[in-house]
Structure 1
């Protein structure tokens, strides 16, 4: 359980809340950028014919940030962009299932109790429409989204060099397949390509996630007591981390 991110943790496995489908053991991890059309910005320009992202650009439409380049293509080869309405609809359902499962498993990530499918879908729709958000997903062998992580860019001119990692979520049935470190590595490569020099995040103090971030090279700033409320009404501490990616 974390306050805003949720790498793999121990816990009972619950099925997806949507249509039943077994989550297969992942033999080839797929991580790709997930971008929906957003009013006033965030519209994708076409991917290449082979389904990769080389040469793909994104119109950011982010006022107040002079000089920021458009986001670079995803760093790893073989990543594909989602460009069909059917895929987007199915992916929203999967993202809602992942969110619900993680909250049911003890992650607060903004909720004290698990949202309904409708609430989770509406939340993802609004989140993905924000032109300051960049989201990546990991899929199982059936092509179903089972993991996701996002980067929240800063719209303020004096913060164009930094971003926050948010909503690192892995469905409990898909844990142990290295989705969390894969997503984090993908975000860091993207951030470096965007000439971002500072990333931040927060997680529940004492959680497994806290130890994982240290293992992945993140530095602790400190803990804020009583930061987030969890099921049952208790208030838990949150630990703030940062990672410097190099001089801008």
Structure 2
């Protein structure tokens, strides 16, 4: 397995599309609802590409050979008083690659680049009760609080979210 920061997602858009659809269909809380709207997913990756090009976002990919098996994003704060922080978004691992340490390696690479970029604080949120919470705790993130009925699940039910932070 290899983890890389990519400077353009355009050549990987088909594989990233499949990764996101796999995550949505497996019930991951990544901002999309089922059934998957293919046009919405395609538009999403185009917006990610634009933000990578404008240096507002960084994208990290996990590969098994030439195959994309995971990804995580780092959204950089554009506000002058927030230039020290970033938001971790859309940590995804393909269902066939789960349980092999892909998430931890993606997060480690992303955090190293965040430090190199001059960030000192990372924030993220995840669905309350998800396994992701234990992952984030295990790699040094601290729970900051919870909000009930924060987002719709892939089935349309309102679910709570938990916010985490990590001082780098």
TM-score (norm. length: structure 2): 0.92
Cα RMSD over matched residues? Answer: 1.4
CA change 1:105–1:144 in 2 (3 A) is: same
Aligned residues: 165
The alpha carbon displacement at 1:111 in A equals: 1.1
2:133 maps to 1:210: yes
The alpha carbon displacement at 1:207 in A equals: 1.0
Distance (Å, rounded) in 2 between the aligned partners of 1:225 and 1:179: 29
The alpha carbon displacement at 1:118 in A equals: 3.8
**Mean Cα deviation higher: 202-211 or 114-123:** 114-123
Higher helix share: 2
Higher strand share: 2
CA change 1:232–1:175 in 2 (3 A) is: closer
1:11-44 deviation digits (Å, cap 9, x = unpaired): xxxxxxxxxxxxxxxxxx11111222xxxxxxxx
Residue matched to 1:47:
none
Distance (Å, rounded) in 2 between the aligned partners of 1:117 and 1:139: 23
1:34-85 deviation digits (Å, cap 9, x = unpaired): 222xxxxxxxxxxxxxxxxxxxxxxxxxxxxxxxxxxxxxxxxxxxxx8xxx
2:63 maps to 1:139: yes
Residue matched to 1:186:
109
Distance (Å, rounded) in 1 between the aligned partners of 2:134 and 2:13: 30
CA change 1:239–1:149 in 2 (3 A) is: same
The alpha carbon displacement at 1:127 in A equals: 1.3
The alpha carbon displacement at 1:114 in A equals: 4.3
Distance (Å, rounded) in 1 between the aligned partners of 2:142 and 2:72: 19
Q: How does 1:1-248 map to 2 (within 5 A)?
A: 29-36=1-8, 88-89=10-11, 91-130=12-51, 131=54, 132-141=56-65, 143-245=66-168
Mark the runs of 5 or more structure 1 residues left unpaired by the alignment: 1-28, 37-81, 83-87
SS at match of 1:217: coil
- Of structures 1 and 2, the one scoring higher in RCO (CA 8 A, sep 6+) is 1
SS at match of 2:32: coil
